[in-house]
Chains A and B, each alone.
Chain A
Amino acid sequence: MRQFVLALAILCSLTLSLRAAEQITRADQVRGDKTDVEDAGLWIYNDMEKGIAEAKSSGMPMLVVFR
């Protein structure tokens, strides 16, 4: 019985750790996406007003993607 309780405790602990890791990973992915896109410089990130200003000054059309 004691071994079963111990195994259950380890399993719960492992599950909670994995869940925490998943949450950290997802949040990190969101933050990493922002950094990656901004560093690459190919897209204006989440700033519509900046995009409009750039399109007005360049005379180019805009491609606005929701993703």
Chain B
Amino acid sequence: MEQFVRVRMVQANAMDLTRFQFDYDLTFAAFLMNADGTIYGRFGSRSSQDAMENMSMPGFGRALQAALDLHDDYPANRATLAGKQPVTPRYERPEQYPSLAEYGAELEYDGEVVKSCMHCHQINEAERRLYREAKQPVPDKVMFPWPSPRVIGIELDRLEQATVSSVAPGSPADDAGLKAGDVIRTVDDQPIVSIADIQWILHHADDGDHIRIRAQQAAETRDLTVTLPAGWRKNTDISWRVSSWDVRRMGTGGLVLRPLSDEQRAAASVGADSLGLRVDGMGQWPPHNVAKQAGFMKEDIIVAFDGRTDAMTQSQLLAYTMQEITAGETLAVTVLRDGERVDLELPTQ
């Protein structure tokens, strides 16, 4: 690390969004870059409740070394880095979002320093609220940001730079011919420093896009093409995201839901293809307590939601409320409680 000029940023206040584009729900994110602003790579990935599932110190060390190698070759390699550079954002600073306008550019170290600190995840919340308050559906790219490579069937070894540990059978990655043990060298010609670099490419990809992967195993290098099927992004798990609390508030009145196990489904007579989400908790205080006020109880099993009875994950249900339901609508929800069906009305925000 001593070969880098090291800067630690502790606030989202006044963040330069034209430069720093990353998964704002992360608790640790790093940029490896040139002084002229050129980004060599990003580090910091998460795809579940386990914050360290996709990160490790050895993996971070490998990303640093890869960035040093790119720095040595710079600017001759400038063209290969072009795809890694930021795109034009909606706003240049977070404070320009209407819901974040109350924040100043600086932390108030001599005053209420905690209150004055804007958290990175609030940027994701502010972006979603723009659509919600305009009564527009939240687009997939905003609803399911920074997809994990897992969504297309790739599990990467968190101890390595970008080494495939397994490929899900029948997945887009499997169809393309990616194999366990492959080292991903480039994606769409961009040198890959870490898992986050692959997420950057997926974040900007659309249904039907073809992702070009150069994979190496031993002395063999293969060029593969992964085709992203329609709706691929919707398989992303967003339930771990801090910013999803705001989605829960708006769409489910603050409900925290968990999938039923096979045993729980059998006990409740809920089929595998049917909706079955258990209430694991709910917000207790306004504005996160709408479900509580509506009469929901812990351990309730949701079996019908706004007329839908098909199986959904919590993430898919949250997305449904943000993409198909307009703020202010009241939804009919049926739960199983002690074996009885109970009909409830759930206002959305």
**A interface list, Cβ under 8 A from B:** 23, 26-27, 30-31, 33-34, 37, 42-48, 50-52, 54-56, 58, 60-67
Contacts and interface: CB of A to CB of B under 8 A. Distances in A.
Contact of B7 (A23, A27, A65): A65
Nearest 4 A-B pairs (CB), nearest first?
A55-B35, A51-B7, A63-B4, A61-B71
- Of A23, A33, A65, chain B has the most CB atoms within 10 Å of the CB of A65
Contact of A56 (B32, B35, B40, B117): B35
Nearest to A56: B35
Contacts of B35: 52, 55-56, 61-62
Nearest to A35: B109
Interface of B: 1, 3-11, 16, 20, 22, 26-35, 40, 44, 64, 67-68, 71, 107, 109, 112-114, 117, 120
Given A61-B33, A63-B4, A66-B29, A46 B11 contact: yes
B4 A61 contact: yes
A65 B113 contact: no
26 contacts: A26-B114, A31-B109, A31-B113, A44-B6, A44-B7, A44-B8, A46-B8, A46-B11, A48-B7, A51-B6, A52-B35, A55-B35, A60-B3, A61-B4, A61-B5, A61-B68, A62-B34, A63-B4, A63-B5, A63-B6, A63-B67, A65-B8, A65-B28, A65-B29, A66-B29, A67-B27
Contacts of B67: 61, 63
A34 B114 contact: no
Nearest to B117: A30
B19 to A, nearest CB: 8
Contacts of A54: 5
Nearest to A55: B35
B259 to A, nearest CB: 32
B40 A61 contact: yes
Given A61-B40, A62-B31, A63-B31, A45 B8 contact: yes
B5 A55 contact: yes
Contacts of A55: 5, 34-35
Given A46-B8, A64-B7, A66-B20, A30 B114 contact: yes
A67 B11 contact: no
A54 B173 CA distance: 42
Nearest to B26: A66
